[in-house]
């Protein structure tokens, strides 16, 4: 079961007003008000779901204008169809309004309470009788509109009380659907005090409303509030789209091939919610985005674009969007928007006016919408010099919070000595208020770690004795950095540039005398001319295009205090004979040697990232002792054959990335005992055959074995592991799971099976009480005649599960075992003939993904509930029998290969 948001919403305009209610309840009072609906309403309220229920028992003949507005201002409508629903003209008018709102993007969940859905759909029984009586009395078009609304809503997959064990369980099903909808619609943080945002957002929204173009460009200088406005717009209208994604900081993130591929994968993940989807290369990524998203109505924000190629790498020529999709672009470059042509409408963001600027400064400096009376003159003097730039007002306000009047006066006098155009110098005043460790944290982030996970950066800076837990929070409090989506550290580009300017001023003419190097030209000069010094703390070698750099083997010998060495997109032609022993981060993509220099002592390493390198781990770890090491990445290493003992040398590893290590065959037993290990990814290690015999690491949250097609045995789980949330076993040769799989008590997502072999599940599979997503490929067999408490569940590859088996598994996005109560189903390579013939029994199935055209041809008939068949991966789809089958599906079909 699922909420359905109508794709036909493209024919209608947005409703831009913020939604007042999460849920609107439509029901026939005399049937359900004091029983089922009352219980449902209370349960929704207990989940903090803002629900409207009409308790006005004395109704007139016509539905009130106020109630129509309530329906419009709700995100979701729940329609409770009961025996006498159609006898109420009021209910039917509500229904027509709900259908109207559905076409504008509102989600609708039909609930069939003691009534068969077919009776509503076909308007038989009590529904047919009630409508006939209405026709006798009214004899006008209204009854026809009621009939059409009933038919449309009854064809949406909903919740059917007859299939539940109890009314309580039925209500829990509805709650889970609504809760999942709310979780998938998380809003972006806009601003602590969004002063001046609303009027600007409304202006742009009216532009979106009146313009049929796909692209809206928002431009203006740095710090003016473009990203903040885009986030507010995104939050207000995302409910009106089938999928949505906000991509921040494209200018910073798209400088390399790997970064651009990551952006493509993020876009697909955010909209399709498929974590196993990989792009491979940029050209393929563009095609995948077009093929997978062209039929969807999407909302996409591309934030901080500075080159046309960044748009093309994500969207190609931008001519494939479905009707009424919207792309919002923020940029400093007005001309870039002009190159997009007539499909792009533009909006220039202006600075805050005097009143807005005073309010924003006051909110941060005084936590009030206006300054204290005796501070008004000083506040106005600040505004005069900032000239309405929101970022500067936020930074200065946070810096002056709690200061005395003499301190304010001193600060204002300092601002007044700085010319207006040097706004970065105004922002630098906040930097000057930091202590030494906080300054180092700020500069390290500005030069090396923007966009990195907060926890990863904390581990690194903690090894530098910078006390980052406190220091990072100080920077957040002073508005110098923020923590964004997925817990990544972000910094406004003006602040990042300010930090880098501070470093460059350490030695304007001699980059080898600076503390940090990140500019490719500066790094090239220092390394090729061997002009480094002990002052250098970190180096990032990253070329905009793949390049080669010829270095002397001892070029790092002068840099005794080097802590960060990060290399990407650069081929170092000669190997190094020396690495500083102070290194904390060694991040080198394509490292050219099979081992680290023999004179290097890696005791202080925290992160060892060597994707696509030639390192062989048996040599590396024979002598390595890294008690501080928390992150290891050997992604795409084609030289590793065995992962040796890590427990004695690197006991504190949290992340172990071995994706695409195609020669890896064996993993030492010690890996299963790494107590701190949280993420372990072995995606597409196609030669892997031997895992540890057991896993006892209680910190593990993710274990990925997708594509390990020679792996036949899954390790034993002798102890309870409640932290493991996601286990991926797809496309392996594992034919059975150990009974101890039941010890993964916290598991929420499980991908099982293979395209080539059958898989037998143990009875302990039913102990996974938190399981929310279960994906099955191939002929996966479930144990028969298993008893859960007093409930018996006779389960095989095509029968329904008892709800006592997996209480969290009622509302899957893509449930692929073809349970008779499932709504979405994946059938890829299944050889079960009974399954093919019995698919008609799945009377709530509305989505079918098929990877084998022969399978589709042999299905005799599809269920009436079917709405979408995706067979885009089938090779041949041109038989006459297949065409007849396709005609059974009334709505969208993804059959792009059908000739």
Q: What is the mean pLDDT of residues 850-869?
A: 57
- CB-based contact 582:562 (threshold 8 Å): yes
Note the pLDDT of residue 791.
Answer: 29
pLDDT at residue 363 is higher than 50: yes
Question: What CA dihedral angle connects 172, 177, 178 and 181, to 10 degrees?
Answer: 150
pLDDT at 18: 57
pLDDT band, very low/low/confident/very high, at 406 (cuts 50, 70, 90): very high
- What gap in Å lies between CA 449 and CA 468, rounded to an integer? 13
Q: Are 150 and 120 in contact (CB under 8 A)?
A: yes
Three-class DSSP category at 868:
strand
- Which H/E stretch holds residue 376? helix 376-386
C-alpha distance from residue 381 to each of 332, 398, 416, 424 (Å): 28, 16, 8, 18
Q: Could you give the angle at which helices 493-504 and 436-444 cross, rounded to 10 degrees?
A: 110
Q: Is 276 a residue whose pLDDT tops 90? A: no
Other C-beta atoms closer than 10 Å to the C-beta of 862 total: 19
Give 15's pLDDT tier (boundaries 50, 70, 90).
very low
Please indicate whether residue 690 or residue 236 has the higher confidence score (pLDDT): 690
- Of 249 and 839, more confident: 249
Nearest-angstrom CA–CA distance, 513 and 511: 5
Give the chain's radius of gyration (CA, Å).
31
- 228 pLDDT band (50/70/90 cuts)? very high
- What value does the mean pLDDT take over residues 93-110? 86
Least confident of 153-162, 435-444, 594-603, 804-813: 804-813
pLDDT of res. 784: 60
Cβ–Cβ < 8 Å for 67, 94? yes
CA-CA distance, 492 to 481, in Å (whole number)?
7
Residue tagged 């045995």 (tokens): 713
Place of tokens 């500075």: 306
pTM for the model: 0.64
The H-assigned helical ranges of 185-317 are 197-210, 226-237, 250-253, 257-272, 282-293, 308-315
Among 85, 89, 105, smallest CA distance to 10 is for 105
Half-sphere exposure of 714 (CA within 13 A, CB side): 26
Question: Do residues 289 and 315 lie in contact, with contact meaning Cβ atoms separated by under 8 Å?
Answer: yes
**Predicted pLDDT of residue 295:** 79
Cα distance between residue 546 and residue 682, in whole Å: 27
Angle between helices 308-315 and 282-293 (to 10 degrees): 60
Greater confidence (103 vs 231) lies with: 231
Q: What is the pLDDT of residue 3?
A: 44
Say yes or no to pLDDT of 370 above 60.
yes
Tokens of 129: 């009788």
Strands 791-793 and 786-788: antiparallel
Cβ atoms of 534 and 510 closer than 8 Å:
no
What pLDDT shows up at residue 813?
Answer: 30
The predicted model gives 221-245 an average pLDDT of 87
| Mean pLDDT computed over 855-871 | 59
Rounded to whole angstroms, the Cα distance separating 89 from 860 reads: 41
Question: Does 477 score more than 90 pLDDT?
Answer: no
Taking only the tens place, the pLDDT of each residue in 689-698 is 999 999 999 9
Other beta carbons within 10 Å of 47: 13
| For residue 792, pLDDT beyond 50 | no
348 contacts: CB under 8 Å, gap ≥ 6: 219, 220, 334
Least confident of 144-158, 517-531, 571-585, 743-757: 743-757
User: How open is the CA angle 153-156-158, to the nearest 5 degrees?
Assistant: 105
Confidence label for 152 from pLDDT (cuts 50, 70 and 90): confident
* Confidence at residue 182, expressed as pLDDT on a 0 to 100 scale: 58
Is 162 or 295 the better-scoring residue by pLDDT?
Answer: 295
Contacts of 384 (CB under 8 A, 6+ apart): none
User: Which pLDDT score, from 0 to 100, does residue 549 have?
Assistant: 86
**What pLDDT shows up at residue 827?**
47
* pLDDT for position 652: 92
Tokens of 837: 């013939």
Q: CB-based contacts of 591: which residues, under 8 Å, 6+ apart?
A: 567, 610, 613, 614, 615
The CB density around residue 872, as the number of other CB atoms within 10 Å, is 16
CB 896 within 8 A of CB 872: yes
Burial 789-820 (b: 16+ CB within 10 A, else e): eeeebebebbbbbbbbbbebbbbbbbbbbbbb
pLDDT in tens, 518-554: 999 999 999 989 899 999 999 999 887 888 888 877 8
Q: What is the three-class DSSP state of 21?
A: strand
- More confident site: 582 or 188: 582
Express the helix, strand and coil content of the chain in percent, nearest 5 each. Answer: 35, 15, 45
> Residue 812's pLDDT is what?
31
Instruction: Give tens-digit pLDDT for 585-638.
Output: 999 998 888 888 888 888 899 999 999 998 887 666 665 678 899 999 999 999
- Burial of residue 281 (CB within 10 Å: 0-12, 13-18, 19+) is exposed
Distances (CA, A) of 88 to 60, 82, 96: 11, 11, 13
Query: Rounded to whole angstroms, what are the CA distances from 591 to 147, 552, 564, 621, 855?
Result: 69, 15, 15, 16, 47
Q: Return all residues near 521 (Cβ < 8 A) that are at least 6 apart.
A: none
Which pLDDT value is given to residue 868?
Answer: 57
Q: Give the dihedral of Cα atoms 126, 127, 129, 131; nearest 10 deg.
A: 160
| pLDDT of amino acid 135 | 85
pLDDT at 621: 64
pLDDT at 10 (0 to 100): 34
Distance CA 489, CA 454 (A): 6
Report the alpha-carbon distance of residue 26 to residue 42 in Å, rounded: 15
Q: Nearest 5°: phi and psi at 866?
A: -65, 135
Average pLDDT of the segment spanning 131-150: 84
- Could you count the other beta carbons within 10 Å of the beta carbon of residue 210? 9
Q: Which helix (H) or strand (E) holds 827?
A: strand 824-827
Cβ atoms within 10 A of the Cβ of 861, count? 12
pLDDT of 448 reads 97
**Which residues are CB-neighbours of 176 under 8 A, at least 6 positions away?**
808, 810, 811
Residue pointed to by tokens 């990195």:
452
pLDDT one-digit tens code per residue, 449-471: 999 999 999 999 999 999 999 99
Calpha distance 496→155 (Å, rounded)? 53
Query: Could you give the count of Cα atoms lying within 13 Å of 375 in the half-sphere of its Cβ?
Result: 25
pLDDT at residue 677 greater than cutoff 90: yes
Which of the listed ranges 205-209, 361-365, 424-428 does the model predict with the highest average pLDDT? Answer: 361-365
Question: Which of 633, 626, 518 is closest to 565 using CA atoms?
Answer: 518
pLDDT of residue 185: 61
Instruction: Write out pLDDT tens, residues 483-518.
Output: 887 899 998 877 888 899 999 999 999 999 999 999
Handedness of CA 110, 111, 112, 113 (dihedral sign): negative
Vertex 118 angle, CA 112 and 119, to 5°: 80
* 102 Ramachandran zone, left/alpha/beta (phi>0; psi -120 to 50): alpha
Pairwise CA distance, residues 225 & 218, whole Å: 10
Q: What is the mean pLDDT of the chain?
A: 80
- Range 627-655 average pLDDT: 90
- DSSP track, 385-452: HHTT-HHHHHHHHHHHTT--HHHHHHHHHHHHTS-TT-HHHHHHHHHHTS-HHHHHHHHHIIIIITTS
40 vs 42: CA distance, rounded Å: 6
What amino acid positions are annotated as catalytic residues? 94
% of the chain beyond a pLDDT of 90 = 36
The pLDDT value recorded for residue 765 is: 85
In this predicted model, which residue has the larger pLDDT, 835 or 526? 526
Cβ neighbours of 258 (radius 10 Å): 14
Closest CA to 226 of 312, 376, 347: 347
Among candidate residues 44, 135, 49, 120, the one with its CA nearest the CA of residue 81: 120
Please state which of the ranges 211-215, 326-330, 706-710 shows the lowest mean pLDDT.
211-215
In a 3-state reduction of DSSP, which class is residue 786? strand
Q: List 572's β-bridge partners, or say none.
A: 549
**Nearest to residue 90, comparing CAs of 124, 35, 130?**
130
Whether the per-residue pLDDT at 121 is higher than 50: the answer is yes
What pLDDT score does 485 carry? Answer: 78
CA angle at 654 for the pair 651 and 656, rounded to the nearest 5° = 95
Q: How far apart are CA 862 and CA 856, in angstroms?
A: 10
User: Do 445 and 466 form a contact (C-beta atoms < 8 A)?
Assistant: no
């Amino acid at each position: 079961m699922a909420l359905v948001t109508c794709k036909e919403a493209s024919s209608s305009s947005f409703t831009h007003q913020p939604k007042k209610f999460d849920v609107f309840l439509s029901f026939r009072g005399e049937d359900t008000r004091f029983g089922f609906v009352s219980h449902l309403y209370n349960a929704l309220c207990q989940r903090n779901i803002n629900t409207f229920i009409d308790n006005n028992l004395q109704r007139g003949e016509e539905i009130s204008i106020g109630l129509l507005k309530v329906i419009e201002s709700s995100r979701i409508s729940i329609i409770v169809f009961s025996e006498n629903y159609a006898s109420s003209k009021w209910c039917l008018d509500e229904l027509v309004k709900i259908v109207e709102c559905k076409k504008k993007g509102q989600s609708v969940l039909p609930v069939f309470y003691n009534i068969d859905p077919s009776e509503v759909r076909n308007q038989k029984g009590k529904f047919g009788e009630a409508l006939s009586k209405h026709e006798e009395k009214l004899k006008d078009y209204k009854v026809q509109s009621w009939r059409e609304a009933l038919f449309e809503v009854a064809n949406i997959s909903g919740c059917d009380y007859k299939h539940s064990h109890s009314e309580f369980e039925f209500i829990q099903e509805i709650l889970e659907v609504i809760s999942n909808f709310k979780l998938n619609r998380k809003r972006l943080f806009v601003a602590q005090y969004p002063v001046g945002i609303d009027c600007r957002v409304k202006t742009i929204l009216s532009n979106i409303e009146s313009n049929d173009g796909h692209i809206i460009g928002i431009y203006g200088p740095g710090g003016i509030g473009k990203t903040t406005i885009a986030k507010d717009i995104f939050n207000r209208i995302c409910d009106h789209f089938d999928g949505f994604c906000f991509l921040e900081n494209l200018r910073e993130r798209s400088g390399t091939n790997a970064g651009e591929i990551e952006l493509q994968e993020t876009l697909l993940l955010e909209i399709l919610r498929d974590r196993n989807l990989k792009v491979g290369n940029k050209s393929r990524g563009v095609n995948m985005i077009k093929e997978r998203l062209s039929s969807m109505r999407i909302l996409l924000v591309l934030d901080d674009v500075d080159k046309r190629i960044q748009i093309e790498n994500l969207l190609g020529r931008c001519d494939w969007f479905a009707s009424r999709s919207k792309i919002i672009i923020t940029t400093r470059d007005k001309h870039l928007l002009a190159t997009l042509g007539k499909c792009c409408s533009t909006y220039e963001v202006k600075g805050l006016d005097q009143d807005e600027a005073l309010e924003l400064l006051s909110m941060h400096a005084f936590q009030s919408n206006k300054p204290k009376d005796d501070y008004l003159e000083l506040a106005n003097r600040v505004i005069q010099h900032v000239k309405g730039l929101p970022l500067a007002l936020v930074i200065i306000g946070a810096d002056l919070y709690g200061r005395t009047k003499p301190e304010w006066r001193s600060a204002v006098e300092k601002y007044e000595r700085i010319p207006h155009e040097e706004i970065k110098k105004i922002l630098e005043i906040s930097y000057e208020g930091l202590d030494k460790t906080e300054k180092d944290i700020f500069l390290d982030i500005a030069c090396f770690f923007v966009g990195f996970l907060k926890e990863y950066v904390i581990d690194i800076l903690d090894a530098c004795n910078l006390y980052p837990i406190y220091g990072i929070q100080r920077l957040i409090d002073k508005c110098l950095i923020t923590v964004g989506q997925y817990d990544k550290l972000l910094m406004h580009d003006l602040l990042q540039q300010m930090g880098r300017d501070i470093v460059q001023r350490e030695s304007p003419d001699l980059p080898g005398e600076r503390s940090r190097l990140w500019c490719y030209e500066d790094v090239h000069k220092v390394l090729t001319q061997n002009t480094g010094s002990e002052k250098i703390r970190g180096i990032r070698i990253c070329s905009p295009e793949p390049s080669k750099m010829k270095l002397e083997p001892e070029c790092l010998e002068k840099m005794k205090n080097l802590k960060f060495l990060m290399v990407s997109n650069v081929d170092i032609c000669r190997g190094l004979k020396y690495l500083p022993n102070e290194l904390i981060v060694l991040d080198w993509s394509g490292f050219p040697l099979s081992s680290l220099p023999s004179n290097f002592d890696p005791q202080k390493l925290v992160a060892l990232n060597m994707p696509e390198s030639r390192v062989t781990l048996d040599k590396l770890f024979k002598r390595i002792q890294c008690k501080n090491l928390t992150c290891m990445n050997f992604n795409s290493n084609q030289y590793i054959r065995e992962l040796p003992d890590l427990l004695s040398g690197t006991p504190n590893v949290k992340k172990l990335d071995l994706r695409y290590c195609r020669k890896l065959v064996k993993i030492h037993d010690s890996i299963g005992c790494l107590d701190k290990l949280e993420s372990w990814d072995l995606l597409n290690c196609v030669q892997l055959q031997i895992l540890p015999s057991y896993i006892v690491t209680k910190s593990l949250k993710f274990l990925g074995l997708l594509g390990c097609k020679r792996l036949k045995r899954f390790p034993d789980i002798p102890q309870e592991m409640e932290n493991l949330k996601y286990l991926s076993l797809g496309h392996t040769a594992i034919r059975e799971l150990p009974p101890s799989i039941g010890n993964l008590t916290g598991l929420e997502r499980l991908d099982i099976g293979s395209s080539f072999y059958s898989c037998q599940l143990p009875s302990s599979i039913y102990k996974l009480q938190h399981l929310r997503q279960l994906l099955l490929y191939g002929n996966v067999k479930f144990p028969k005649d298993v008893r859960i408490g007093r409930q018996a569940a006779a389960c095989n590859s095509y029968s329904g599960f008892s709800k006592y088996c997996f209480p969290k598994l009622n509302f899957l996005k893509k449930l692929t075992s073809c349970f008779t109560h499932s709504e979405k189903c994946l059938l890829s390579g299944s050889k079960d003939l009974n399954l093919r013939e019995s698919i008609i029994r799945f009377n709530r199935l509305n989505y079918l993904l098929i990877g084998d055209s022969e399978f589709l041809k042999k299905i005799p008939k599809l269920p009436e509930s079917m709405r979408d068949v995706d067979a885009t991966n089938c090779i041949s789809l041109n038989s006459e029998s297949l065409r007849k089958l396709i005609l059974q599906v009334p709505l969208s079909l993804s059959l792009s290969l059908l000739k």
